[in-house]
Structure 1
Amino acid sequence: MSKFWEEFELGKRYQTYGRTVTEGDLSLFCSFVGYHVPLFIDEEYAKRTQYGGRIAPSAFTMSVSTAMTESLFRNTVISLMSVERGRFLAPVRAGDTIRTEVEVLEKKETRNPEKGIVTFRDHVLNQKDETVFQIDKIVMLKRQLHNES
């Protein structure tokens, strides 16, 4: 499903698979990156907060979303140039199923005819179709006309 720069159309949206977040996912992520924030690791503490229980760290949601979208340009990506306007709009919890909808916002040619730039907006939605996270990514991709065999 990997796409070249030419294959992305302005305004088009792509859907990823869904992924159910588990307690194990959250524990492993927090342990791996060294998050020791009680809101993420202590259920009793988290119950007394505005969230009423443990939530996923925002970096977890962003990481899972990034992994979900990689199939769009797995073999054509040159670089992730920028991430901008990240907005965490609602908490993600163990038991939630999240998916990412990728919207093509902008395309630019570069001086190098083998490369092009695409701006994507990732919308991460939960099982209720609520947007929980949104971010814009600027990605440099290979151009097809110079990479055909």
Structure 2
Amino acid sequence: MFKDLIGKRSEKVLNTIERGAVRKFAHSIGDEHPIFVDEDYAKNSRYGKNIAPVTFARTLNFGTIEELKLPKQGLIHGEQSFHYERPLYVGEDVYCYTEVKDYYEKTGKSGTMSFLVTENNGEDENGNTIFKSRSVVIINEAVRKGMNA
């Protein structure tokens, strides 16, 4: 079903790590560490500026893979992981894109489940990797059959 999309990627999308968005995000996750929200504290940190929480990357725009059509309901968030080369700095521009990395199926007692693996990438203006996040979306058999109808 999605096997032919492996390797497809979206166009890069420019995102700016905005101070207000980082502050709201830190508040919403209950982690208002001064490195995220206090400019004076951050100036004296090893980074010299505020950074964003690790999971803040989830809020960025990674573009769209036109051929990838997923249903609006019935998907299961299987897992997600983040790998950073360095933190996201408040105020910086980040170029983001998503790529389909894998698709496979497993059959069990309740039928066949499909697993779609995608990777979100964030790069600096020179194309250097800042972070990668990998997600697995599980599509159950009923949803998959509805997609083919």
Percentage identity across aligned positions?
A: 21
Q: Could you give the per-residue CA deviations for residues 9-61 of structure 1, whole angstroms, max 9, x where no partner exists?
A: 22222235322221111121122222221211221121112101111111212
Letter in 1 for 2:128: E
Of 120, 123, 130, the residue aligned with 2:128 is 130
Q: Could you give the per-residue CA deviations for residues 65-88 of structure 1, whole angstroms, max 9, x where no partner exists?
A: 4x646885553561111123x212
> Hey, what does 2:147 align to over in structure 1?
147
Give the Cα–Cα distance (whole angstroms) in 2 for the partners of residues 48 and 8 of structure 1: 49
Of 71, 77, 89, the residue aligned with 1:75 is 71
CA contact (8 A) 2:62 2:98 kept: no
Shift in Å, 1:126: 3.1
Give the Cα–Cα distance (whole angstroms) in 1 for the partners of residues 52 and 24 of structure 2: 11
Structure 2 regions of 5+ residues with no counterpart? none
Q: Could you give the per-residue CA deviations for residues 101-142 of structure 1, whole angstroms, max 9, x where no partner exists?
A: 2222221124346x5211222212233322211122111245
Of 34, 38, 55, the residue aligned with 2:34 is 38
> Hey, what does 1:64 align to over in structure 2?
59
CA contact (8 A) 1:18 1:99 kept: yes
Give the Cα–Cα distance (whole angstroms) in 2 for the partners of residues 73 and 79 of structure 1: 15
> Hey, what does 2:87 align to over in structure 1?
91
C-alpha distance 8-69 of structure 1, shift in aligned 2 (>3 A): farther
> Hey, what does 2:103 align to over in structure 1?
107
Task: Give secondary structure in 1 for the equivalent of 2:71.
Answer: coil
TM-score between the two structures when normalised by the length of structure 2: 0.74
- Stretch deviating more after TM superposition (116-125 or 92-101): 92-101
C-alpha distance 146-26 of structure 1, shift in aligned 2 (>3 A): closer
C-alpha distance 97-73 of structure 1, shift in aligned 2 (>3 A): farther
Structure 1 regions of 5+ residues with no counterpart? none
